[in-house]
Amino acid sequence: MRKIFGFMLGAITGGILGAAAALLLTPTSGSQLRAQVYSRIQLMEKEIIEARDQKRAELEEQLQALRAPQK
């Protein structure tokens, strides 16, 4: 019984200390962090769309070259 009590006390104490440390050491607030993540996602989406469009243009050029009549 004593071992279980000691384990539970240690787990609860560790959880409380860990939560307190996380709150004290977090560099930004939740809303700021969400805004940063959202802006990075938008930037990545823009880069992916640009890469897709560029690759599509390259492939269309290659397709046109293959469809052109051979001389």
User: Average pLDDT of 27-43?
Assistant: 86
Domain count, the chain: 1
Under a CB-based contact definition with an 8 Å cutoff, are residues 53 and 45 in contact?
no
pLDDT of residue 71: 62
Q: What is the CA radius of gyration of the chain?
A: 28
Its domain, for residue 9, covers 2-67
What is the per-residue pLDDT across 10-30, written as a single tens digit (0 to 9) for each? 999 999 998 888 877 777 777
pLDDT of residue 55: 95
Measured from the Cβ of residue 6, the count of other Cβ atoms closer than 10 Å reads 10
Quote the pTM value.
0.54
What is the per-residue pLDDT across 52-68, written as a single tens digit (0 to 9) for each? 999 999 999 999 999 98
- Specify the higher pLDDT residue, 43 or 22: 43
